[in-house]
Structure formats: structure tokens, C-alpha cells
């Protein structure tokens, strides 16, 4: 089965919604709960990424289903115009462990490195207890920049620290 990484397009919206709802159903899948995955939410990040960010999907060619999504965008203030943040990634649980997340991330980082010399930083947050994610992000070049205790409430009510991480574009030009 072949999967294709490509830029997201408006016609992907329903597939992205279905993907996010499926991922939100698994523990630790997304910060958003399934009922928080709305048309307005997805339209919002798709519009932002289309105008001032990066947005890729992984499409399963056999079924046409969107099985992975990653997006990030500029925060909107001039003083932060050199960074992409609000990074979110979702991979269909049936396809996890097959390198799709890494391919999605490398798509974003390659796009920034090769075509977005205006971007110095790509930022993300992850929970401190999500050791697998922390190791993954560090393995692809993100560095830990701090710790925000009690910032994130897990579905079971337990508070976790958020860990801010960033990847720096070696081809940035101010």
C-alpha cells in the first residue's frame, strides 16, 4: 500500500476532520477531545496554514483516506514573524509505527529549510509524561527549551507539565 505526502488542499477538510476525530478517541492521541474537533476548528487551522504556514497530509492511495496531517503557522504578530507555532500532528492509529509521523515532520522541516528562509523557528509543545513523543522530537532535531508545570490537564484530570521544544532552520535569513 502506497501513501503519498502532499500539501493539504481545501478538499481534504472532511478527511482531516475524520482523522482528527479518530485520533482524539485514543488516550494521548490529541490535546483536543473528539467533540472539540469541529468544522470551524479545522477550517481555522487550514486557512491559517494556507496563508502563513505549512500544512501537509499523508494520503493512502488505495483508499484515498487522509491517514496523517501536520500543520503549523505564524502566530500573527510582527515580533513573531520568524517562527511557526501551534504545530499539530495526527496519524491514524491503524497506521502508527510505520514512519508516517516522521515523514510528515520531515516534509515540514524540509519545506522550511528549502523554501521558507523567513522562518527561524518551528515550535511545538508536548506533555512531559509523553516520553515517546519527547524522544521522537529530539531524534528529528527539536530541542527542549523549558518546562511549564501544571499547564496541561489530561483526560483523567491529572495535570502534566508542557514541554516547549523548537527546531531551528539552518537556512534562515533575517
**Fold designation for 3-168:** Aminopeptidase (3.40.630)
H or E segment to which residue 117 belongs: none
Report helix, strand or coil for 26.
coil
Confidence (pTM): 0.94
**Domain range summary for the chain, segments of one domain joined by +:** 3-168
pLDDT one-digit tens code per residue, 71-124: 999 999 999 999 999 999 999 999 999 999 999 999 999 999 999 999 999 999
Region of 141 (left: φ > 0; alpha: ψ -120 to 50; beta: rest) is left
Q: Give the gyration radius of the chain's Cα atoms.
A: 16
pLDDT one-digit tens code per residue, 17-76: 999 999 999 987 888 999 999 999 999 999 999 999 999 999 999 999 999 999 999 999
Give phi and psi for 95, each to the nearest 5. -120, 5
Nearest CA among 20, 71, 68, 32 for reference residue 50: 71
Amino acid at each position: 500500500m502506497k501513501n503519498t505526502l502532499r500539501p493539504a488542499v481545501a478538499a481534504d477538510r472532511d478527511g482531516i476532520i475524520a482523522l482528527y476525530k479518530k485520533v482524539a478517541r485514543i488516550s494521548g492521541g490529541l490535546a483536543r477531545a473528539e467533540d472539540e474537533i469541529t468544522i470551524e476548528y479545522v477550517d481555522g487551522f487550514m486557512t491559517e496554514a494556507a496563508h502563513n504556514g505549512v500544512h501537509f497530509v499523508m494520503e493512502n492511495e488505495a483508499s484515498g483516506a487522509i491517514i496523517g496531517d501536520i500543520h503549523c503557522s505564524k502566530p500573527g504578530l510582527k515580533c513573531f514573524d520568524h517562527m511557526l507555532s501551534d504545530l499539530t500532528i495526527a496519524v491514524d492509529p491503524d497506521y502508527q509505527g510505520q514512519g508516517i509521523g516522521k515523514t510528515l515532520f520531515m516534509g515540514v522541516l524540509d519545506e522550511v529549510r528549502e523554501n521558507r528562509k523567513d522562518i527561524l523557528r518551528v515550535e511545538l509543545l508536548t506533555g512531559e509524561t509523553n516520553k515517546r513523543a519527547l524522544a521522537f522530537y529530539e531524534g528529528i532535531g527539536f530541542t527542549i527549551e523549558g518546562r511549564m508545570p501544571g499547564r496541561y490537564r489530561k483526560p483523567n484530570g491529572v495535570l502534566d507539565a508542557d514541554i516547549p521544544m523548537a527546531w531551528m532552520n539552518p537556512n534562515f535569513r533575517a
